[in-house]
Amino acid sequence: MSDQIIIFDTTLRDGEQCPGASMNLREKMEVARQLARVNVDVIEAGFPVISDGDFEAVHTIATEIKGPRICGLARCLPQDIEAAGAAVKPAGERGRIHVFLATSNIHREFKLKKAMDEIIRLAREGVAHAKSLARDVEFSPEDGSRTEPEFLARVVQAAIEAGATTINIPDTVGYAVPEQYAALITYLRSNVKNMDDAILSVHCHDDLGLAVANSLAAVKAGARQVEGTFNGIGERAGNCALEEIVMAIKTRPDFFGTLHTNIHSREILKTSRIVSRMSGLHVARSKAIVGENAFAHSSGIHQDGILKKRETYEIMDPEEVGWGGTELPLTKHSGRHAMLARLDHLGFKLTEQETKTVFERFKEIGDKKKFVYDDDLAALVEDSMSVAKETFALDYIHVTSGSTTVPTATVRLKTSEGARQDSSPGNGAVDAAMQAIDRIVNRKGHLAEYRVEAVTQGRDSLGEVTLKVDFGDGDLITGKGASTDVIEASARAYVNAVNRKELTTQRNKELANPPL
C-alpha cells in the first residue's frame, strides 16, 4: 500500500453548499488556481447537473486548471452522470466522475424507498455508466458510516466490480467516532475481496467536531484518500479541515510514520485566506493552523519559553504553513508594475479591465493611508471582482450623521444608462445608505448578517464589510466591500449584493425562457 495520502478537496462543491458561501465563476477560478498551487491531488469542482452555472464552473476548471485531477459529482442517475462526464471531459485523463448513492437503512427506507438488492443494482449501473465516460470513477455510498457493515461491503464490492477506482466512505451526518469509523475501514479492508483494486477514501462532516479525528483514525486504519475543505467550510458544521489533516500528518511522523501528502504546506495560509475571501466565510481567530491566533502567544511564560527555544511551546514552525515573511508594503508611489507583482505573489490573476479598476482603487487608498499591505490589496481585488459584470457601481456617497441629527445618506450609482441618485434618512448612517440604494435599484433588502473587520492593524486600516442580504425571497446573497471609510465599505458591499442579485435574477430568467 502506498504511503501517500491523496488530498481530495471539495471546497468548491461541499464547501460551497454552506449557506451564503456561493461563489461566482470568477471567485471559483481564484480558489481553483490556488488549490492547484497548494497542490491538492483532486479538486471536486462542483455538481454539474445542478445548474448551468455549476456545469460551466466545472467545465472551465477542467479546461484551465492544470495539475490536479478535476472531479464532478453525480447522483446515480443517467442525466447526472452524463453532465459530470461532459463537464470534466476537457481535463482528459485527469477527469474524474464521482457517483453517489445512499445506502443506510434510514435513507433506503425513507428517502429512496428501495430494497438492498435494488441499491446494489443501481450502484453497479451508475458506476458502469460513469466508467464508459471516464477512466477515473469514484463511488460514495452516502451515509456509509451508518450503513450495516455487511451490506456496505456488498455495495462496495459491486461498485469495484463495475469499475470504481476509488471507494469513498462518507460520514454524511457527522455521526462517527474515531475508533468505530477506523474499525469500519478495517472491516472493509478484510471483508471486500476486491478492496485492493480501489483506493479507500474518507469524507467526514464535523457535526460532533470529530471530522479531522475520524479521518486521521481512518488513515491509520488504511484509508489513502482524505476528502475535505480548506478552513473546514461545508454543510452545517462543515467538512474535515484539510489544513489540519496535512499538518497533523506532517508534524507527527512519530505516529504516522512514513505517511505523507503532496501538499506545499507554505501555501496553506494563502489558500485559507483566498477561500475565506471568495466564500465570504470568516475564519475564527482561534482556528488551528490558519486562525489569526494560531501562533500568537500572549502569556509571559510562553513568550519567554519561545524566545529561549521555539519548540518549548510551538509544535510547528509558523513559516511552514505560510505565516511570517511579510514583504515590504506598497505605498501610493508604487507603480502598476509593483502592484501587479504583489498580486501575482498573492495568487491573483486579473484581466486588463480588472487591473485598471484595482489600480485606480489602489491609488485612491494609497492617498488615504501610508502603507498598502498585502491584505489591503487582496481586499481591493475581492471588492473589485466579486461580480464579473456590474449592473450598478458606487459613484458617490455623502452621509450626515451625529448624536443630534437624523442620519441621512445621498448615494449616486453609475449604470449603463447613466447615473442615478437618491437620498434617504435611516436608523443610523449604514441603514440610511442602504435605504438610499434600495430606492435607486428598486429593491428592498433585509440585512440578515453584517460584519466589519479591519483588514490590517492601525487606525488607517481598510475596513472590509461582509454582509448577507435577503431581497424578499429567502435567498441569502453575500456582498463584500472595502474602504478606509466603513460607511463607504458598507455601501460598496450592499451594491455588490444588489449586483449579485441582478445577475441571479437574470440567469433564472434565461433558464426559464431558454433561447430557441
Question: Which of the stretches 12-20, 42-50, 427-435, 454-462 binds Zn ion when contact is defined by CB under 5 A?
Answer: 12-20
Q: Is 80 one of the binding residues for ligand KIV (CB under 6 A)?
A: no
Question: Which of the stretches 10-18, 101-109, 360-368, 444-452 binds Zn ion when contact is defined by CB under 5 A?
Answer: 10-18
d(CA 37, CA 68) in angstroms, rounded, equals 10
Taking Cα atoms as reference points, which of 495, 497, 492, 493 lies closest to residue 476?
A: 497
- Give the CB-nearest residue to Zn ion: 14
Question: Out of 46, 170, 232, 481, which residue is the one contacting ligand KIV (CB under 6 A)?
Answer: 170
Q: Do β-strands 6-9 and 69-75 pair in parallel, antiparallel, or remain unpaired? A: unpaired
Query: Smallest distance from the beta carbon of 138 to ligand KIV, in angstroms?
Result: 9
Question: Out of 14, 374, 464, 502, which residue is the one contacting ligand KIV (CB under 6 A)?
Answer: 14
Q: Is 480 one of the binding residues for ligand KIV (CB under 6 A)?
A: no
| 268-279 vs 374-385: helix crossing angle, rounded to 10 | 40
Query: Smallest distance from the beta carbon of 337 to ligand KIV, in angstroms?
Result: 44
Q: Is 171 one of the binding residues for Zn ion (CB under 5 A)?
A: no
d(CA 257, CA 313) in angstroms, rounded, equals 23
Is the dihedral angle over the CA atoms 465, 471, 472, 474 positive or is it negative? Answer: negative
Query: Smallest distance from the beta carbon of 224 to ligand KIV, in angstroms?
Result: 17
Assign 304 to helix, strand or coil: helix
Q: Is 181 one of the binding residues for ligand KIV (CB under 6 A)?
A: no
Question: Out of 8, 11, 13, 14, which residue is the one contacting Zn ion (CB under 5 A)?
Answer: 14
Query: Smallest distance from the beta carbon of 166 to ligand KIV, in angstroms?
Result: 11
d(CA 12, CA 45) in angstroms, rounded, equals 5
Q: Is 100 one of the binding residues for ligand KIV (CB under 6 A)?
A: yes
Q: Is 107 one of the binding residues for ligand KIV (CB under 6 A)?
A: no
Residue 216 is inside which H or E element, if any?
helix 211-220
Closer residue to ligand KIV in complex, CB, 76/441: 76
Cβ atoms < 10 Å from Cβ of 204? 31
Question: Which of the stretches 6-14, 54-62, 174-182, 208-216 binds Zn ion when contact is defined by CB under 5 A?
Answer: 6-14
322: left (phi over 0), alpha (psi -120 to 50) or beta: left
Query: Smallest distance from the beta carbon of 236 to ligand KIV, in angstroms?
Result: 10
Closer residue to ligand KIV in complex, CB, 199/350: 199
Q: Is 16 one of the binding residues for ligand KIV (CB under 6 A)?
A: no
d(CA 516, CA 514) in angstroms, rounded, equals 6
The distance in angstroms from the start CA to the end CA of the chain is 54
d(CA 101, CA 139) in angstroms, rounded, equals 8
Q: Residues near 479 by Cβ (< 8 Å), separated by ≥ 6? A: 386, 465, 466, 467, 468, 469, 493, 494, 495, 496, 497, 498, 500
Cβ atoms < 10 Å from Cβ of 480? 23
Q: Is 267 one of the binding residues for Zn ion (CB under 5 A)?
A: no
Q: Is 201 one of the binding residues for ligand KIV (CB under 6 A)?
A: no
Q: Is 383 one of the binding residues for Zn ion (CB under 5 A)?
A: no
Query: Smallest distance from the beta carbon of 227 to ligand KIV, in angstroms?
Result: 7
- Cell 467550510 appears where? 233
Q: Which residues between 127 and 146 bind ligand KIV (CB under 6 A)?
A: 140, 142
Query: Smallest distance from the beta carbon of 469 to Zn ion, in angstroms?
Result: 27
> Which residues would be at the binding site for Zn ion (CB under 5 A)?
14
> Which residues would be at the binding site for ligand KIV (CB under 6 A)?
14, 100, 140, 142, 170, 172, 203, 205
